[in-house]
Amino acid sequence: MILLHGALGSSVQFNELKLELSGSFHVHTFNFSGHGGSEIPEQGYSIDLFEEDVLSLMKREQIPSAHFFGYSMGGYVALSLAGKKPEIVQSVFTLATKFDWNPTTAQKESGMLNPEIILQKVPAFAAKIEMIHAPTNWKKIMEETAAMMIQLGENPLGETDFSKISCRVKLAVGDSDKMVSREETFNVAKMIPGAETLVLLNTPHPLEACDLKMLSKEIIAFCQ
pLDDT tens-digit profile of 114-152? 999 999 999 999 999 999 999 999 999 999 999 999 999
Above 90 in pLDDT, residue 186?
yes
| CA distances in angstroms from 9 to 36, 91, 93, 192, listed in the order given | 7, 22, 18, 27
Helix axes 138-154, 103-111, angle to 10 degrees: 170
Does 196 map to a domain?
yes
Helix axes 123-133, 138-154, angle to 10 degrees: 90
Above 90 in pLDDT, residue 174?
yes
CA–CA separation, 139 and 122 (whole Å):
14
Does 109 map to a domain?
no
Boundaries of domain holding 28? 2-99+156-223
Number of domains in the chain: 1
CA 12-212-29 angle, to 5 degrees, is: 30
pLDDT, tens digit, 9 for 90 and up, residues 32-59: 999 999 999 999 999 999 999 999 999 9
CATH number at residue 209: 3.40.50.1820
pLDDT, tens digit, 9 for 90 and up, residues 74-111: 999 999 999 999 999 999 999 999 999 999 999 999 99
Tell me the Ramachandran region of residue 165: left when phi exceeds 0, alpha when psi lies from -120 to 50, beta otherwise.
Answer: beta
The pLDDT score that the predictor gives to residue 134 is 94
Helices (H) and strands (E) in the chain, counts: 10, 6
Asked if 130 and 10 touch (Cβ cutoff 8 Å), the reply is no
Does 121 map to a domain?
no
Does 211 map to a domain?
yes
The pLDDT score that the predictor gives to residue 199 is 97
Q: What is the dihedral of CA 33, 37, 38, 42, to 10 degrees?
A: 80
pLDDT band at 224; cut points 50, 70, 90:
confident
Asked if 95 and 207 touch (Cβ cutoff 8 Å), the reply is yes
Beta bridge partners of 187: none
Above 90 in pLDDT, residue 168?
yes
Does 87 map to a domain?
yes
pLDDT band at 156; cut points 50, 70, 90:
very high
Asked if 79 and 166 touch (Cβ cutoff 8 Å), the reply is no
Which H helix or E strand runs over 172?
A: strand 168-174
Q: Return the DSSP state at 205.
A: S
Does 112 map to a domain?
no
Does 127 map to a domain?
no
- Cβ–Cβ contacts within 10 Å for residue 147, how many? 14
The pLDDT score that the predictor gives to residue 140 is 96
Beta bridge partners of 70: 4, 94
Does 18 map to a domain?
yes
